[in-house]
């Protein structure tokens, strides 16, 4: 006799987006540590953050331009 098989539904897009936003909001930012790996993590975080803010600014400007 086999046991019943249960499938877990895949999380919806809104659930995945919510999880991502919560992770970004509450995850601690990396610090400039003492090892090369910590330095690399910090630099990647810094560059990624700068690119993300530039992208948000450009998208907001484009949206405002489209509205006007």
pLDDT of residue 66: 96
Exposure string (b/e) for 19-53, b if CB count within 10 Å is 16 or more? eeeeeeeeeeeeeeeeeeeeeeeeeeeeeeeeeee
Sketch the domain layout of the chain as residue ranges: 32-68
Over the chain (68 residues), what is each successive 10-residue block's mean pLDDT?
77 91 89 94 94 96 96
pLDDT of residue 41: 93
pLDDT of residue 9: 80
Q: Provide the token pair at 62.
A: 């484009």
pLDDT of residue 37: 94
pLDDT of residue 65: 96
């Amino acid at each position: 006799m086999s046991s019943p098989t249960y499938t877990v539904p895949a999380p919806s897009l809104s659930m995945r987006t919510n999880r991502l936003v919560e992770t970004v909001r509450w995850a601690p930012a990396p610090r400039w540590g003492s090892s090369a790996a910590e330095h690399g993590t910090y630099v990647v975080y810094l560059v990624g953050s700068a690119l993300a803010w530039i992208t948000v600014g450009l998208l907001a400007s484009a949206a405002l331009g489209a509205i006007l």
